[in-house]
Structure 1
Amino acid sequence: MATGETGFDDVTYDLVSVQYHALKAGHDYGQYVRDARNAGKDEIAAFFEQVMSEDSARAQQCHRFIAELTQHQGTSATAPQGGTDG
């Protein structure tokens, strides 16, 4: 498996990135729901809640994949490789 500049394999890095962005967006969507509710736009608030739920599911799926990868790290090198400190 290819290892990117971070020392983690590209797939693990990509999953962590998607998970982070899904969680961050989910946090932001909470404000969007409140804004829509305060404006009396219940249909739009429901849309934001749906999007928030989808991002939550996306983050959970990433979490499962990351757990699977780290369980197999002995065979697929998902963790950074230790360097020499001199």
Structure 2
Amino acid sequence: MASTRETGEVTGTKDKNYNLLWYTQTCLDNALRMETYIQDAEQAKDTELVDLFRKAQADSRKGAELGKQLLSSRLGS
């Protein structure tokens, strides 16, 4: 079976735009998941993990914001 690369013909969304959508969603999902991890670490009184997960959450939020900004500018044009 021949492998074909999706270029927007099947989904209607070009790879680069699909990738940006995926990236933004993944960052948002990760920020939400980190909240659970933070709560678990807080319950265990593991401040080292709390700090790590808070940093990861902040990084994910930053990535999501950058992705949303790019989406906004690209979808608006």
Compare CA radii of gyration and give the structure with the larger one: 1
Aligned length: 71
| Percentage of matched positions with identical amino acids | 18
* Larger RCO, structures 1/2 (Cα 8 Å, 6+ apart): 1
Q: Give yes or no for the alignment of 1:19 onto 2:24.
A: yes
CA RMSD of aligned residues (A): 1.2
1:3 is matched with 8
Mapped to 2, the partners of 1:56 and 1:5 lie a distance apart of 30
Show structure 1 runs of 4+ deviating over 2 A. 2-5
Q: Which runs of 5+ in 1 are unaligned?
A: 73-86
1:68 is matched with 73
Q: Give yes or no for the alignment of 1:52 onto 2:40.
A: no
Deviation for aligned residue 1:70: 1.3
TM-score (norm 1): 0.75
Mapped to 2, the partners of 1:11 and 1:49 lie a distance apart of 29
**Secondary structure in structure 2 of the residue aligned to 1:7:** coil
Q: Which runs of 5+ in 2 are unaligned?
A: 1-6
Distance of aligned partners of 1:24 and 1:54 in 2 relative to their CA distance in 1, 3 Å threshold: same
In structure 2, give the amino acid aligned to 1:39: A
